Amino acid sequence: MNKLRAGTLLKTWINDMKAMISQNNETYKAIFYSAHDTTIIPLLRIFDVKDKLLPNLADPDFVANVVLELWKKDDGSYVVKAFYYPNSIAGTINFTSMISGCPPTDECPFDIFVNRCKSYLPDNIDLVLVTL
């Protein structure tokens, strides 16, 4: 179900990051997507951080959001940083170190991030719907 609810958004996110890397894109500094809380929860589950960020089956607040940042390091490699903004009052939570499969640091190498997400990226959304 996580693949259906958040996999398409994550696939778009990753494909846009790949395009920025391959084109060495200096045009865009940010790309934004809007989604509902029903997308945030599966996205946090895909990263295996939902229970850490939203314990006791809590739902995200209305203004909660997830931010993925793509950074180019001095050595030319790329890393992803993941943040959760629970609401308009609470501080930002860098949850990159909590993502399963990523190193326990505040940045995850892009290739590692993509590989750990692959099983959640739908190849054919119609087939995903049929198999549910």
At 60-90, the pLDDT tens digits run 988 899 999 999 999 999 999 999 999 889 8
Q: Which stretch of DSSP H or E encloses residue 108?
A: strand 108-109
Predicted TM-score (pTM) of the model is: 0.84
Query: What domains are there in the chain, each with its CATH number?
Result: 2-130 (3.40.50.1240)
Coil, strand, or helix at residue 32?
coil
Lowest mean pLDDT among 12-16, 49-53, 101-105: 12-16
Cα–Cα distance for residue pair 71/48, rounded to 1 Å: 22
Copy the structure tokens of residue 15: 């494909």
At 97-111, the pLDDT tens digits run 999 999 999 999 999
Q: Is the dihedral of CA 29, 31, 91, 82 positive or negative?
A: negative
